[in-house]
Amino acid sequence: MDENTRKAVTQRLASAAGHIKGIERMAQEDAYCIDMIRQIQAVQAALNKVTAMMLDTHLHTCMMTAVRGPDMAERERMLAEVTAVFQMSNKY
């Protein structure tokens, strides 16, 4: 992962963590449910953005290395790995 991506991912995760702490406070204070849902959706959107950034990095680094390499089994393993990640995300 390049330094710019690392910084962007770290910042987004820190922001999401801060929002989660805020949601925890809202729950303790018995905040309005819809307000909490909106905050949860904001965290999910931030995490989805991090996921997209990480996938882009993976495809442009690890995946490209496998595609350009001579090992067909490694290419297949990498493809299966990416597919499995998205299959798991549908279970949540």
Q: What's residue 89's pLDDT?
A: 73
Distance CA 39, CA 3 (A): 29
- CATH code for position 21: 1.20.58.1000
Question: Sign of the C-alpha dihedral, residues 82, 10, 40, 26?
Answer: positive
Confidence category of residue 86, pLDDT binned at 50, 70, 90: confident
Q: What's residue 70's pLDDT?
A: 94
Question: Sign of the C-alpha dihedral, residues 30, 32, 19, 49?
Answer: positive
Instruction: Show the domain range for 76.
Output: 3-89
- List, for residues 12-55, the tens digit of each pLDDT value: 999 999 999 999 999 999 999 999 999 999 999 999 999 999 99
Residue 76: phi, psi to the nearest 5? -65, -40
The number of domains in the chain is: 1
The encoded tokens of residue 86 equal 């998205």
Q: Look at the pTM and tell me if it is higher than 0.85.
A: no
Q: Are 49 and 16 in contact (CB under 8 A)?
A: no
